């Protein structure tokens, strides 16, 4: 690299070298730092490097020393993110279905820059992206940015909404737009991550109710000049409570439901509805809970997971519908052996 005339920039390159090349298990001697600086066009005497390191330490960089051969080695000790934290973030990025494979790799590469090159190798060993379920909508980041802008400006948003349908020929899967492509117009209030998907929670004035939309199924969103019109009705809206009662973010009629569970499912109920849910004993082996849920096929499928370890006590119409669904499933498999 050609020499850099402004030697005042040298401490910045010393910082770059230390951040990229060192950690608590990999220190660099002054001679090694000098050699690295040559690649950036700098020469430096030992005293100059001492001064640079002292300046960087005063600036706030956590530079530690250790014995390195016959002299000392220097390395970055404390960073903004520690390795366990970076591994947690990498795992979250990998698991998020709404992040495309391409963007997953890009984000992980950026996270790797928050640690040393040697530590980044440890992160790379844990990266398994190819076989994970991921969205195919590469525009999701552009869409999310527009939604955030609409929420911050408190303006309405318009977008097309689609489902995936079976196609023909080369196009095995195709988009099928709802409402024949006519735009949805809603008042956006929050973005939430539920069941590994990203959702916009908004107020639909035409339907006079809160609705949610999968962000990866939204298309061509635009922020409108019109201000949101449901702030009074949405006052005190709690996104956590909304997500808790909406199973799989699948809409349905809101209803107070009393359920009876086997005692060993207490942890499952707390995980689903939170620690503040009211629980009472039914008998020594079972307990009751009253919760507000959006009654939907996903709610019923959740109950099916627990077989006879759960029972709907009320309302009776919900218990009757659940029984009819169970009968229909049993009939569907009648005669299969």
Greatest mean pLDDT among 102-116, 224-238, 265-279, 281-295: 102-116
CB 75 within 8 A of CB 57: no
pLDDT tens digits for range 265-290: 887 887 677 767 788 888 888 889 89
Residues sharing a CB contact under 8 Å with residue 311, sequence separation 6 or more, in sequence order: 259, 260, 319
The reply to whether 191 falls in a domain is: yes
Report the alpha-carbon distance of residue 263 to residue 270 in Å, rounded. 12
Residues 65 and 103 grouped into a single domain: no
Structure tokens at 292: 């507000």
The reply to whether 136 falls in a domain is: no
Residue 309's Cα: distance from chain center in Å? Answer: 32
Sheet with 310-314: list strands edge to edge. Answer: 279-283, 286-295, 253-262, 310-314
Mean pLDDT of all residues belonging to the chain: 85
More confident residue, 47 or 124: 47
Residues 70 and 87 grouped into a single domain: no
Per-residue three-class SS string for 126-192 = CCCCCCCCCCCCCCHHHHHHHHHHHHHHCEEEEEEEEEEEEEECCEEEEEEEHHHHCCEEEEEEEEE
CB 103 within 8 A of CB 132: no
Residues 269 and 317 grouped into a single domain: yes
Residues 117 and 182 grouped into a single domain: no
The reply to whether 242 falls in a domain is: no
First to last CA, the chain: 75
Range in 6-15, 50-59, 87-96, 235-244 with the lowest mean pLDDT: 235-244
Report the alpha-carbon distance of residue 258 to residue 78 in Å, rounded. 51
Kindly state the average pLDDT of the residues 232-236: 82
The reply to whether 134 falls in a domain is: no
More confident residue, 6 or 182: 182
Q: How many domains does the structure of the chain reveal?
A: 4
> Which DSSP string corresponds to 206-237?
TTTEEEEEEGGGEEEEEEEEEEPS-TTTTTT-
Strand partners, 214: 199
- Output the CA torsion 237→238→243→249 (10° steps): 20
Residue 188's Cα: distance from chain center in Å? Answer: 19
What is the domain-level CATH number for residue 288?
A: 3.30.70
pLDDT tens digits for range 182-221: 999 999 998 887 766 788 999 999 888 888 898 888 999 9
Phi, psi of 284 (to 5 degrees): -65, -20
Q: At what angle do helices 30-38 and 10-21 cross, to 10 degrees?
A: 110
Peptide bond into 215 cis (omega under 30): no
Buried b or exposed e, range 196-214, using 16+ CB within 10 angstroms: ebbbbbbbeeeeeebebbb
Report the alpha-carbon distance of residue 322 to residue 305 in Å, rounded. 13
The reply to whether 145 falls in a domain is: no
Could you list the residue range(s) of the whole structural domain that residue 214 is in? 155-236
More confident residue, 325 or 169: 325
């Amino acid at each position: 690299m050609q020499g850099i005339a402004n030697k005042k920039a040298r401490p910045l390159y010393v910082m770059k070298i230390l951040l990229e090349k060192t950690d608590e298990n990999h220190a660099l001697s002054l001679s090694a730092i000098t050699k690295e600086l040559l690649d950036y066009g700098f020469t430096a005497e030992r005293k100059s490097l001492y001064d640079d390191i002292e300046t960087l330490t005063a600036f706030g960089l956590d530079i530690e020393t250790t014995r390195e051969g016959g002299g000392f080695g220097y390395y970055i000790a404390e960073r903004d993110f520690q390795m366990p934290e970076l591994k947690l973030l990498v795992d979250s990025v990998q698991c998020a279905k709404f992040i495309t494979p391409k963007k997953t790799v890009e984000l992980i590469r950026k996270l790797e820059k928050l640690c040393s090159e040697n530590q980044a190798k440890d992160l790379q060993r844990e990266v398994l992206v190819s076989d994970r379920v991921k969205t195919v909508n590469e525009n999701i980041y552009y869409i999310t940015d527009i939604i955030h802008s609409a929420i911050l400006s408190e303006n309405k948003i318009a977008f097309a909404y689609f489902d995936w349908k079976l196609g023909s020929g080369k196009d095995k899967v195709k988009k099928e737009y709802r409402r024949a492509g006519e735009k949805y117009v809603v008042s956006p209030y929050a973005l939430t991550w539920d069941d590994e998907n990203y959702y916009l929670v908004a107020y639909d004035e035409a339907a006079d109710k809160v609705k949610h939309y999968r962000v990866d199924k939204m298309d061509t969103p635009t922020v409108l000049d019109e201000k949101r019109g449901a702030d009074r009705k949405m006052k005190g809206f709690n996104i956590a409570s909304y997500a808790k009662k909406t199973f799989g973010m699948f809409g349905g009629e809101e209803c107070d439901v009393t359920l009876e569970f086997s005692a060993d499912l207490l942890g499952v109920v707390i995980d689903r509805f939170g620690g503040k849910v009211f629980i009472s004993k039914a008998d020594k082996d079972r307990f009751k809970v009253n919760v507000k849920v959006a009654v939907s096929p996903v709610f019923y499928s959740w109950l099916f997971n627990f077989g006879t370890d759960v029972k709907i006590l009320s309302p009776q119409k919900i218990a009757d519908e659940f029984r009819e669904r169970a009968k229909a499933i049993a009939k569907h498999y009648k005669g299969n052996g």
